[in-house]
């Protein structure tokens, strides 16, 4: 059988663009396909910014991966001469005795992360735009910040091309067939044969990988951008990324990285849907009436009426951990999907792991929590509490 490339990558978003870069850097022949083009905002990389953090409330198993991912972000920056990872710091705020805060502090101490635990009075002094509830503390993670996903995906894909990868933009994949020797990839007008295939199609994985719709759900994420009373208090040098679990609300925010507004998000699902081509991108005003209490109580310097809103996609597995694995029934297929709200920051290391799996190289990291899971209920998908 004649092959068009050693490895094919279907989907060139966060995971696919990084996988193509890691493969091409090894000198492997790579073909890639995307229904749009690297850098678009119509899938799970939409929303203009993503948080990078190492003080991880989700648990210490992620921290070694995050540390390695930070080095790979720096490597991509060095290779391309492009600033991607903006380490302006991040603060996590919650009740001192909560599981959330215990996990954050354990991550910092167990892995000797550059951090500082701040009392309520210290938060008031340094970050006066935040209001803390009685009993709350904050952890400053100095190895945290943000990435612009549109720029990063585009940079990784273009770097892969500069190293010899061939990437097909605006080329939706209709079907994939596997044999013991490799895979055949079909668009509406063409077909290609590759020895190994990495499937990183995000929400569209459900169409291309039979059975995967039982393993992950598509969820709708709502984000909003707000003006402030005093812009100088919300600039990146004085207003770090933040994550909070306060008053029954789980929310996060970004400084004025685009120059004119602060971005806020309520963590969790804003609705489950089935078809990635039919995401409802209209956001009802009722959502932001509910968000007004959050802003009033905890961020009083922000004008509580959004100037821009957007709905985006994410996908969740039952465990809340992604699948990054060789397919259990096909040795020619590597699958990555279901990043459950915490994948983008890890995309360089997941791209490296996908490349190693495709090339049958040893994976140095412990990826046991990312193995293809048994099917289970979807209680792990959080739903936003409808608080007026």
CATH at residue 154: 3.50.50.60
CA end-to-end span of the chain, whole Å?
62
- For residue 269, the model assigns a pLDDT of 60
| Helix, strand, coil shares, percent, the chain, to 5 | 30, 30, 45
The mean predicted confidence, pLDDT, of the chain is 92
Task: Examine the domain organization and report whether 139 and 252 are in the same domain.
Answer: yes
Mean pLDDT of 321-329: 93
Q: For residue 151, which of 77, 201, 79 has the smallest C-alpha distance?
A: 77
- Residue 314 has a CB neighbour count (10 Å cut-off) of 26
- For residue 319, the model assigns a pLDDT of 87
Mean pLDDT of 48-75: 90
Instruction: Determine contact, residues 249/194, Cβ cutoff 8 Å.
Output: no
Domain range for residue 290?
85-145+217-314
- For residue 290, the model assigns a pLDDT of 83
Mean pLDDT of 270-290: 88
- For residue 195, the model assigns a pLDDT of 98
Mean pLDDT of 227-249: 96
The sign one gets for the Cα dihedral 57, 59, 60, 61 is negative
Count of domains for the chain: 2
- For residue 292, the model assigns a pLDDT of 93
Cα 67 to chain centroid, rounded: 16
Higher-pLDDT residue of 385 and 61 is 61
Helix axes 149-162, 63-80, angle to 10 degrees: 60
pLDDT class of 373 with cuts at 50, 70, 90: low
Task: Examine the domain organization and report whether 209 and 341 are in the same domain.
Answer: yes
- Would you say residue 195 lies in a domain? yes
- Would you say residue 62 lies in a domain? no
For 108-151, the pLDDT digits (tens) are 999 999 999 999 999 999 999 999 999 999 999 999 999 999 99
pLDDT higher than threshold 60 for residue 381: no
pLDDT higher than threshold 60 for residue 384: no
Mean pLDDT of 257-275: 87
CA angle 265, 271, 274 (to 5 degrees): 130
User: Residue 256 and residue 227: Cα distance in Å, rounded?
Assistant: 9
pLDDT class of 267 with cuts at 50, 70, 90: confident
pLDDT class of 374 with cuts at 50, 70, 90: very low
- Would you say residue 33 lies in a domain? yes
* Residue bearing tokens 């091309």: 161
- Would you say residue 122 lies in a domain? yes
In the three-class reduction of DSSP (H, G, I as helix; E, B as strand; rest coil), residue 76 is classed as helix
* Residue bearing tokens 């759900």: 217
Task: Examine the domain organization and report whether 153 and 277 are in the same domain.
Answer: no
Mean pLDDT of 205-221: 89
pLDDT higher than threshold 90 for residue 265: yes
User: Residue 167 and residue 161: Cα distance in Å, rounded?
Assistant: 7
CA angle 136, 142, 143 (to 5 degrees): 120
- Token duo for residue 133: 């509830």
- Token duo for residue 109: 């101490």
Task: Examine the domain organization and report whether 90 and 38 are in the same domain.
Answer: no
Instruction: Determine contact, residues 348/76, Cβ cutoff 8 Å.
Output: yes
Percent of the chain with pLDDT over 90: 79
268, 288, 314 - which closes a domain: 314
- For residue 58, the model assigns a pLDDT of 76
Residues 6+ apart with CB under 8 A from 264: 223, 224, 225, 226, 251, 252, 253, 254, 291, 294, 295, 299, 302
Burial-class residue 304 by CB neighbours within 10 Å (0-12, 13-18, 19+): middle
Integer CA distances (angstroms), 305 to 244, 256, 288, 295, 297, in order: 20, 16, 7, 10, 14
Q: For residue 141, which of 247, 246, 225, 67 has the smallest C-alpha distance?
A: 67
């Amino acid at each position: 059988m004649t092959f068009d490339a050693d490895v094919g990558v279907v989907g060139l978003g966060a995971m696919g663009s990084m996988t193509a870069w890691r493969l091409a850097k090894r000198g492997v022949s790579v073909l890639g396909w995307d229904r749009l083009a690297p850098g678009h905002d119509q899938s799970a990389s939409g929303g203009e910014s993503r948080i990078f953090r190492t003080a991880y409330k989700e648990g210490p198993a992620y921290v070694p991966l995050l540390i390695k991912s930070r080095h790979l972000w720096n490597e991509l920056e060095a290779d391309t001469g492009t600033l991607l990872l903006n380490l302006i710091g991040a603060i996590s705020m919650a009740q001192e005795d909560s599981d959330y805060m215990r996990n954050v502090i354990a991550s910092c101490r167990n892995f000797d992360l550059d951090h500082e635990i701040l009392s309520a009075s210290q938060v008031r002094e340094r970050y006066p735009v935040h209001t803390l509830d009685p009993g709350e503390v904050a952890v400053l993670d100095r190895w945290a910040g943000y990435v612009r996903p549109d720029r990063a995906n585009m940079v990784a894909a273009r770097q892969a091309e500069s190293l010899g990868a061939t990437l097909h933009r605006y080329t939706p994949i209709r079907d994939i067939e596997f044999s013991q020797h490799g895979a055949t990839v079909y668009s509406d007008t063409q077909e290609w044969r590759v020895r190994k295939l990495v499937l990183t199609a995000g929400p569209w994985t459900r169409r291309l990988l039979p059975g995967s719709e039982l393993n992950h759900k598509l969820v709708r994420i709502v984000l909003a951008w707000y003006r402030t009373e005093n812009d100088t208090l919300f600039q990146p040098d004085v207003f770090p990324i933040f994550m909070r679990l306060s008053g029954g609300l789980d929310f996060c925010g970004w400084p004025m990285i685009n120059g004119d507004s602060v971005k806020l998000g309520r963590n969790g699902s804003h609705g489950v849907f089935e078809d990635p081509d039919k995401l409802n991108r209209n956001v009802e005003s009722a959502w932001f009436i509910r968000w007004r209490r959050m802003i009033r109580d905890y961020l009083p310097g922000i004008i509580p009426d959004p100037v821009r809103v957007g709905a985006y996609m994410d996908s969740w597995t039952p465990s809340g951990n992604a699948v990054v694995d060789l397919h259990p029934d096909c040795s020619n297929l590597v699958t990555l999907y279901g990043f459950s709200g915490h994948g983008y920051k890890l995309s360089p290391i997941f791209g490296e792991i996908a490349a190693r799996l495709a090339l049958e190289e040893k994976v140095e990291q412990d990826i046991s929590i990312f193995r293809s899971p048994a099917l289970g209920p979807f209680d792990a998908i959080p739903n936003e509490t409808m608080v007026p």
